[in-house]
Structure 1
Amino acid sequence: MSRMLGKALVTALMLGSGTAAMAANDGQVRANQLLGTDPEYRETWQSTVKREERLPEWVLNLSGSAPQQMSAVTEDGDKYLVGPLCESEDKCTYKRLIVAFSWDKDEAYGMLVEVPEGLPTDKSPTRHADYRWLGDPDEGMKALLQEQLKRDPNWY
């Protein structure tokens, strides 16, 4: 009886860990959880930001607030896991990052977007934003990251 229970427990654990891995691979994860799901994501992100200067801690560690789950997106035939991250929930308009990881976890890109805090609501954040590219994205990747930003109904 205990042997059957042990096998059932092992099976449940294997299924549970497989589900977590699948969730990380199909977009059922938020950007602020990604580095904890797989060491390959952490290594790739650290490689992406290691030559960058003066990045905030929340960008270096992808530890800010993630308003939504990441999603699978295709660009030029390649699949990426893409999602937003904000410094904090209440500062998403002013400090946000859109990240993209290649499906094989070998490449990562980011677009850090900063808007002056206190910008009047009648002023377009698009016209006052500073953009910083991480990971040396090509024009197609830049367009993908910008498109993700445009999906935010508060971005105009």
Structure 2
Amino acid sequence: MKRLLSLGLGGLALGVSLTAAAADHDTQFRVNELPASDPKYLRTWQQLVEDEERLPEWIINLSGTATPMQALEEDDEQYLVGELCEAHDCAHQRLYVAFSWDKAHAYALYVQLPANLPADKAPSRHASYRWLGEPDAGIKQLLDEQLKADPNWY
């Protein structure tokens, strides 16, 4: 209970919303919906991408195709974590995103695969990885685990 109180009313409201979303699978949060849901998410994401060079528009605007997000913990901190991919090219362009519970920090792992990768080749050996937002080792592991949870990733 102390943990929820330390998050403040915004965190408590998000926690209640996440609990409700978990109960109702049709209303779960998605990465591409966060900027419109709260200006703090938009501001935090804009701060992250402003220092990055040569990012595609779908990443800058978080406008790709997204899966439902989940609340995960890393080093006693809560994060809202989800996947976004370039619309119509999820196999080759992915982004794994983590927002801190207080919406003050965002981190991401951008994964790209060559367009002509043969189906029998292991994607993990041919991918390029780019970290956004200077995540520490724990956040890197958290996002890397999301990538490795994909059954098509080997």
Bin for the TM-score computed over the shorter chain: 0.7 to 0.9
Q: Structure 1 residue 74 and structure 2 residue 69: aligned?
A: no
Q: Report the counterpart of residue 17 of structure 2 in structure 1.
A: 22
Please give the alpha-carbon distance, in whole angstroms, between the structure 1 residues aligned to 2:143 and 2:71: 13
Q: Structure 1 residue 57 and structure 2 residue 57: aligned?
A: yes
Letter in 2 for 1:120: P
Please give the alpha-carbon distance, in whole angstroms, between the structure 1 residues aligned to 2:68 and 2:20: 12
Consecutive unaligned residues in structure 1, runs of 5 or more: 1-17
Instruction: Give 1:26 shift.
Output: 6.1
Deviation string for 1:23-42 (max 9, x for gaps)? Answer: 59967211111111000000
Cα gap change, 1:94/1:25 in structure 2, threshold over 3 Å: closer, same or farther?
Answer: farther
Please give the alpha-carbon distance, in whole angstroms, between the structure 1 residues aligned to 2:131 and 2:39: 23
Equivalent pairs, count:
136
Please give the alpha-carbon distance, in whole angstroms, between the structure 2 residues aligned to 1:53 and 1:35: 21
Please give the alpha-carbon distance, in whole angstroms, between the structure 2 residues aligned to 1:112 and 1:60: 12
Please give the alpha-carbon distance, in whole angstroms, between the structure 2 residues aligned to 1:155 and 1:35: 28
Identity in percent = 56
Please give the alpha-carbon distance, in whole angstroms, between the structure 2 residues aligned to 1:25 and 1:116: 39
Please give the alpha-carbon distance, in whole angstroms, between the structure 2 residues aligned to 1:101 and 1:26: 17
SS at match of 1:91: coil
Cα gap change, 1:65/1:119 in structure 2, threshold over 3 Å: closer, same or farther?
Answer: same
SS at match of 1:153: coil
Contact kept? 1:26, 1:71, Cα under 8 Å: no
Instruction: Give 1:117 shift.
Output: 0.8
Greater Rg by CA: 1
Cα gap change, 1:154/1:73 in structure 2, threshold over 3 Å: closer, same or farther?
Answer: same
Consecutive unaligned residues in structure 2, runs of 5 or more: 1-12, 23-27
Q: Report the counterpart of residue 136 of structure 1 in structure 2.
A: 134
Q: When the two structures are superposed, what TM-score results if normalisation uses the length of structure 1?
A: 0.82
Letter in 2 for 1:95: Q
- What is the 5 A alignment of 1:75-90? 75-88=74-87, 90=88
Letter in 2 for 1:29: F
Please give the alpha-carbon distance, in whole angstroms, between the structure 1 residues aligned to 2:132 and 2:53: 11
Contact kept? 1:26, 1:72, Cα under 8 Å: no
Instruction: Give 1:103 shift.
Output: 0.3
Letter in 2 for 1:22: S
Instruction: Give 1:152 shift.
Output: 1.0
Q: When the two structures are superposed, what TM-score results if normalisation uses the length of structure 2?
A: 0.83
